[in-house]
Amino acid sequence: MSRKPMQTLKLEIDGPVATLTMNRPDKRNAMNDQLLTELDTFFSQPPEGVKVVILTGTEGHFCSGLDLSEHVARDAEGTLRHSRGWHGVMDKIQFSGLPVVSAMFGAVIGGGLELATATHVRIAEPSVIFQLPEGRRGIYVGGGASVRVGRILGADRMIEMMLTGRKYDAEEGLRLGLCHYSVGPGEAIGLARELAEKIARNAGLSNYVMIHALARIEDMSKADGLFTESLCAALTQTSPDAQEGLKAFLEKRSPQFR
């Protein structure tokens, strides 16, 4: 099936790794409905053979949040439905089954931070600014930050961040968990590719299960989480990939997963 050309995303595919670049440089890659739609379309039907996605921005910024210049006045119901639409796209990114690595620089603000925390591996350059400025604009987050950012920072720290409009840099973000790696200028995309290629060599089923199970186990009771872990172990450890992994270990070679 042919794909419609994307207007706000650039797609490059190199073997099992796809790089998605948000491409609205005049808006610091701010989020609008078109960008959300294109992200949703990509993660709903990824190209065949892609095992890992790198998500990044252009012209010095990852994503500066909601494009307020395209803001549409909505009533309460319209706002509710629009927010739930954002949640659907962020869930699609988190749970499509493809590991997503974010290469971040510049603005990672508002909806940009919501987007980043829907991804699985986050790399930040020194120019990164993490911020949730919604409270300073008389509004509240609507793209999932209450859950995703809140679970990283904890409610107490997120309340302070939103009340004051506080900004965190890459090193602070690393300490707090907003990113997993802090690198030098211009180094994020290189590390993203290195990690993406490493992740792509994993068994696809185990990647899929890790993405889906761990986030859900966090919501479960201890007993339910342990039972779910056993189900995941049973599913993965009896797969053809598990047999290949054991055989490769015994033969002292790298496994060749499906």
Per-residue pLDDT of 166-175, as tens digits, reads 999 999 999 9
Beta carbons of 71 and 118 less than 8 angstroms apart: no
The CATH number of the domain where 228 resides is what? Answer: 1.10.12.10
pLDDT at 76: 95
Q: Could you tell me if 228 and 143 lie in one domain?
A: no
Looking at the chain, the whole-number percentage of residues with pLDDT higher than 70 is: 99
CATH code: domain of residue 139: 3.90.226.10
In a domain, 1, yes or no: no
Which residue segment(s) compose the domain that 236 sits in?
204-250
- 3 in a domain, yes or no? no
Name the β-bridge partners of 130: 108, 168
Residues 6+ apart with CB under 8 A from 45: 1
> Is the pTM here over 0.85, yes or no?
yes
Backbone dihedral region for residue 225 (phi beyond 0: left; psi -120 to 50: alpha; all else: beta)? alpha
Catalytic residues: 114, 134
Same domain, 17 and 49: yes
- Give the pLDDT confidence of 16-54 residue by residue, as tens digits: 999 999 999 999 999 999 999 999 999 999 999 999 999
The verdict on 66 and 54 lying in the same domain is yes
Query: Rounded mean pLDDT of the chain?
Result: 95
| Residue 104 and residue 225 in one domain | no
CB neighbours of residue 95 within 10 Å? 15
Helical ranges in the chain per DSSP H: 33-44, 76-95, 111-116, 145-153, 155-164, 170-176, 188-200, 204-217, 222-237, 240-250
Show the tokens assigned to 166: 């506080």
Domain membership flag for residue 139: yes
Residues with Cβ < 8 Å from 37, sequence gap 6 or more? none
Measured CA to CA, the distance from residue 64 to residue 87 in angstroms comes to 18
Cβ-contact 33, 81 below 8 angstroms: no
Co-location of 68 and 35 in the same domain: yes
DSSP state at residue 135 = G
Within 10 angstroms of residue 76's Cβ, the number of other Cβ atoms is 7
- Structurally, the chain folds into a number of domains equal to 2
* 82 and 61 inside one domain: yes
